[in-house]
Amino acid sequence: MPANRSARKRKTPLGLIAIPVVLVLGAVGLFSFLSGDGGAKIPFIDDGPGPTDDVPAFEFKIKKTRAVATDDQADVDALAQQAAQVGTELRPMLDELFTNAFLDPANWQEGDYEEVWERFDDAARPTAEQNVETITLGATAGDVYEDVAPTKGSLEFDVLFDREGAPTSVVVKFRFYALGTRKDGTYTAVNSHGQLFLDAGSWGITAFTVKREDTQTESPAPPTPGPSGSASASASS
């Protein structure tokens, strides 16, 4: 082999080496720009609006609280103050109950209302679960609604006291209103009202009378009555 053969080998021009390097670096930079740190979405892709998983804030308004004494010699004014305190203590629990039943997307989108049923005692719970369409937004609400927002709600408390002046039970009269945006573009005015009977020991619901009077509305407006359904259960002896 001639000694100068290797010297006669054609060298690759530096420009041809630089071009692939520039292309690789450019591709890496473009990927970084499109994906962003941590694998973020490509910025110019718009997923569009969709249902939200946020739970809307809701709080009942207490309209009236009454003390029901079983002793004719009871201090009415003192019992009235106690009754007002009971109502104030129960309102957050009722706010949560109706939020779980009608407003929390994690519940109505899946038709899972376990948090609602836990508020009923062992005797009333089976009847409550059988009336899921009346007591909650419904088992298949996720197929119907895009969004549900509260409109207003009111509470009235009748607090029954024993002869020693301790509360024994509470009757809660409630009205709950919400606006449901349906997937077909129409609106439903949700109207739930009735009575809940609570035991003072555990504040579990021992009995209930609940009615639903939902109506279709043309625009986001306060609901108006219209028969839809009802459910009830009597307290166990």
Domain limits of the chain?
A: 61-233
Give the pLDDT band of residue 220 (cuts 50, 70, 90): low
∠ Cα 199 204 206 (to 5°): 70
- The 3 state secondary structure assigned to 56-86 is CCCCCEEEEEEEECCCCCCCHHHHHHHHHHH
Indicate whether 93 pLDDT > 50.
yes
Per-residue pLDDT, averaged over 206-231, amounts to 79
- pLDDT-based confidence at 8, cuts 50/70/90? very low
- pLDDT tens profile 134-143: 999 999 999 9
Measured distance CA(214)–CA(224) in Å, rounded: 8
Residue 90 has pLDDT above 90, yes or no: yes
Q: Structure tokens of 145?
A: 């609604």
| CATH match of 61-233 with 3.40.50 | no
Quickly state the pLDDT bin for 219 (edges 50, 70, 90).
confident
Residue 51: pLDDT over 90: no
Q: What is the pLDDT of residue 71?
A: 83
- The pLDDT > 70 percentage for the chain reads 72
Percentage of the chain beyond pLDDT 90 is 64
Average pLDDT over residues 40-53: 47
Query: Mean per-residue pLDDT for 27-35?
Result: 42
> What distance in Å separates the CA atoms of residue 215 and residue 192, rounded to the nearest whole number?
11
CA torsion angle for 91, 117, 150, 109 (degrees, to 10)? 150
Model confidence, pTM: 0.74
What pLDDT is attached to residue 225? 64
**Residue (of 82, 90, 104) closest to 196 by Cα position:** 90
In this predicted structure, what is the pLDDT of residue 1?
Answer: 44
Which pLDDT belongs to residue 234? 58
Between CA 185 and CA 9 the distance in angstroms is: 76
